[in-house]
Structure 1
């Protein structure tokens, strides 16, 4: 009896469930008829790393090796790539602020000391004769102004001097004696030699060549006993009061040079010895192998401590200007353009194409593309680029299953 009652109860429960399921199926619409959330329609597609250009259909970015990313109406105002703070910390992203800095156009160069050719003087013979004695016997000897260099015997000067002495003894008119004196001067007979002849009463054929200025005997063209002729250079004296420091300056720095720029020259072998100088000439020739120009600086050497061949470190002074700068590590150079990744106020990152100026060591001048106060990524730029590519790929992967599910 109990078993029959239990069976009847189970049959009644099954019937109730069947009827309930039937009515539930009648009242619930089929899955295809269930209204889904409104499908998001992209406004356009773009490359997150180059957000400026917009495209009307998906595809591969013409700028980066990644797929274009759709931009929807609710995110149309957002530009660039958003990276969560946690990921930024994991990627080691570090930023720097774009600022103006007082930059000096000064730079250093190495110069070689040379003789100042404008101070060189030549000592020549004005008459045919013989060198009887040399007071300076070797090149590169230092001489002072008025120092005796050589004694020359000039027999050709005996006749004109004897004529002058004879006229003086004859008591001729002063005008005739004055004319004779002028003829002796025209023959380049030194005035001191004429006075000696008049005082001694006999013609003098030996005279002493003296140094017209102080310096170094850079060229010695005679020896004792040799014959000399008019116009022959016997000595060439290079002055040492001022010297040239000739430096090889790269083209990029040569444009900053201006005649008259002051320079501080420090002896390479002894930094405690410094000299003042001035830029005198930029030689109009560029070396094809080194792409440098030669700049000629005039350096004060009244102390006489600088000698040709010495090396000087030239500290070339320039004007100080205010320039917009960023760390050099924040600039991505692609070969054809320069890009920096900027952090926006909403936390997103976007690239900016830059126009760069001068290289300033660890910083670089920015002419266009950034403003003072902008925050740029100084490290982790390529990881942000990878994050943008990863998001693009994941977005495409999520869109693919949705599209395949909708097609069923």
Structure 2
């Protein structure tokens, strides 16, 4: 019995081995292939502080020594120059695109100005009689006067003496005729008429008070004397202007002077007359530029016989200029589509990609500015689809992901060009400084974990951007500032609606990218500006900010990690 039991056990064991081999042995090749496939899907390791680093194994960053982290799956792409965004991300970023086409290129130039007195019809009314103002008949500016109207009465001791000399000379006129004529001529020099001279001689009495009469018709635009004042001969007492014709004077800044010429048609409106539009021609362009304001003027002469236009009224004008030859079509893109670095102009091209849309940066050559658009001379073809809204959001996301971007060109492009410095006058720097001051105040509020204060400072920054007039800067500075301002305004659209400090901090890094570029271009302060970096911000991708202090105070974490970061560059 024992022997039989042993034999049964051995038999069962052999059968089990045979069954196991039959079931599992045939799949060994597939298992080996599966293992090989899993081994082939290698993890890519990168540095949160230097996203350009790519390694197939974990370890330390060769640049900064930090531990490498796995690259997120959504960042991998068959083309390293293309950045992919999901449909949901596109909606959240409010990204929109358009297909490039050709159209007639015309520049619309907007001008600001005001109504002024026609200088040719302005008259300075002076007194020809020295003395004291005894009576003033015209007492306020804006009063209408007619030629010959009495404006005031003057008591003149000198004139009284001259009349007495006339009466004495009259008594000896037979023996001294020359003396008599000289006495009369003296009165004529004071514009005493012949009738008044005869009145003095017939009355045998000097006239003590003489009227001052208006020499022209018009409106008193300035009153220069008061009752009781002493006036000298030839002293102006009123400014009188004929307002039946006026000038509308438009300001021309350096960057716009080449687009306005004598004879250019202008369509304009007067702020005080809403709903009405007027047309006219530029009759004169000032050949001189004001050295202080850097502004010249363009004049439109206007018939104002109805008196509706008043000097001092503000006007807004529009001048249209055709670009290129008549009938020619140009590739025109909105200004919001172009990124400008100081030397390069770039756009983002949309491409089809799995799971969303791919974006590739492309260098273009810009032609003339058309107000809200640019002519593209090279780099785009009809049918290309470009980003026109959310361009700077896309660029910031691409840059933070370590892909080729505005400040990090593709490897096949020329050596990356640093942000070029643009020299500003002290006056231009003063106009730009409020933007940086408000940004730094916003940064300080984030450091203090004060959301209410950060909200307030964000609105102050938005207001300072609105008040920044690009046209008041030189040509090269104005072109760069226009691009930066558009980027910043786009950033502020996502910052000001933030409902808590975390949401605000998420958008602060994109704002800081533009502010840093602008600081490198313009160097707005005489003090040093420190570019500081936190490798842990932005989901361990790292983020930068500007500070006036070398000491690290982290706006992305506040008190939680106040000193996390380092100075990476100094703007002097």
TM tier, smaller: 0.5 to 0.7
Instruction: Write the deviation string for residues 42-89 of structure 1: whole angstroms up to 9, x where unpaired.
Output: xxxxxxxxxxxxxxxxxxxxxxx99999xxxxxxxxxx99xxxxxxxx
In 2: Cα distance, 1:303 partner to 1:192 partner: 38
Residue 294 of structure 2 corresponds to residue 302 of structure 1: no
Q: How does 1:356-395 map to 2 (within 5 A)?
A: 356-361=366-371, 363-369=373-379, 374-379=382-387
Scaled by the length of structure 1, what TM-score is found? 0.54
Displacement of 1:134 after TM fit?
Answer: 1.3
Structure 2 equivalent of residue 328 of structure 1: 334
- Please state whether the residue corresponding to 1:272 is helix, strand or coil: coil
In 2: Cα distance, 1:197 partner to 1:262 partner: 60
Greater CA drift, 223-232 or 307-316 = 223-232
In 2: Cα distance, 1:93 partner to 1:314 partner: 31
Q: Which runs of 5+ in 1 are unaligned?
A: 1-64, 70-79, 82-91, 344-348, 390-408
Are residues 375 and 160 of structure 1, via their aligned partners in 2, closer, same or farther at CA, if it must alter by over 3 Å? Answer: same
Scaled by the length of structure 2, what TM-score is found? 0.41
Instruction: Write the deviation string for residues 205-249 of structure 1: whole angstroms up to 9, x where unpaired.
Output: 432212223333333333334443334432233442344444444
Contact 2:109–2:371 at 8 Å: present in 1 too? no
In 1: Cα distance, 2:254 partner to 2:380 partner: 27
Structure 2 equivalent of residue 354 of structure 1: 364
Structure 2 equivalent of residue 223 of structure 1: 226
Q: How does 1:100-139 map to 2 (within 5 A)?
A: 101-103=104-106, 105-116=107-118, 119-139=121-141
**Which structure has the larger Rg over C-alpha atoms?**
1
Structure 1 equivalent of residue 240 of structure 2: 237
- Given candidates 252, 273, 276, the residue that maps to 1:272 is 276
- Please state whether the residue corresponding to 1:184 is helix, strand or coil: helix
Structure 2 equivalent of residue 95 of structure 1: 99
Are residues 364 and 148 of structure 1, via their aligned partners in 2, closer, same or farther at CA, if it must alter by over 3 Å? Answer: same
Displacement of 1:356 after TM fit?
Answer: 0.9
- Given candidates 200, 204, 208, the residue that maps to 2:211 is 208
In 2: Cα distance, 1:122 partner to 1:334 partner: 52
Structure 1 equivalent of residue 317 of structure 2: 314
Displacement of 1:136 after TM fit?
Answer: 0.8
Instruction: Write the deviation string for residues 347-379 of structure 1: whole angstroms up to 9, x where unpaired.
Output: xx99874321233255421234568xx443335
Q: How does 1:134-213 map to 2 (within 5 A)?
A: 134-164=136-166, 166-167=169-170, 170-171=173-174, 179-190=182-193, 193-194=196-197, 196-197=199-200, 202-213=205-216
Number of residues of Structure 1 aligned to a counterpart in Structure 2: 290
Displacement of 1:189 after TM fit?
Answer: 3.7
In 1: Cα distance, 2:317 partner to 2:309 partner: 14
Structure 2 equivalent of residue 51 of structure 1: none
Please state which structure has a larger fraction of its residues in strand.
1
In 2: Cα distance, 1:113 partner to 1:277 partner: 15
- Please state whether the residue corresponding to 1:157 is helix, strand or coil: helix
Are residues 330 and 222 of structure 1, via their aligned partners in 2, closer, same or farther at CA, if it must alter by over 3 Å? Answer: closer
Displacement of 1:135 after TM fit?
Answer: 0.8
Instruction: Write the deviation string for residues 151-181 of structure 1: whole angstroms up to 9, x where unpaired.
Output: 2222422444455565488457987765554
Displacement of 1:204 after TM fit?
Answer: 3.4
In 1: Cα distance, 2:189 partner to 2:348 partner: 82
- Please state whether the residue corresponding to 2:311 is helix, strand or coil: coil
Are residues 241 and 194 of structure 1, via their aligned partners in 2, closer, same or farther at CA, if it must alter by over 3 Å? Answer: farther
Structure 2 equivalent of residue 57 of structure 1: none
Are residues 231 and 265 of structure 1, via their aligned partners in 2, closer, same or farther at CA, if it must alter by over 3 Å? Answer: same
Residue 344 of structure 2 corresponds to residue 337 of structure 1: yes
Please state which structure has a larger fraction of its residues in helix.
2
Contact 2:349–2:386 at 8 Å: present in 1 too? no
In 2: Cα distance, 1:139 partner to 1:161 partner: 34
In 1: Cα distance, 2:159 partner to 2:117 partner: 36
In 2: Cα distance, 1:195 partner to 1:368 partner: 87
In 1: Cα distance, 2:372 partner to 2:236 partner: 56
Contact 2:115–2:310 at 8 Å: present in 1 too? yes
Q: Which runs of 5+ in 2 are unaligned?
A: 1-75, 83-95, 351-358, 404-572
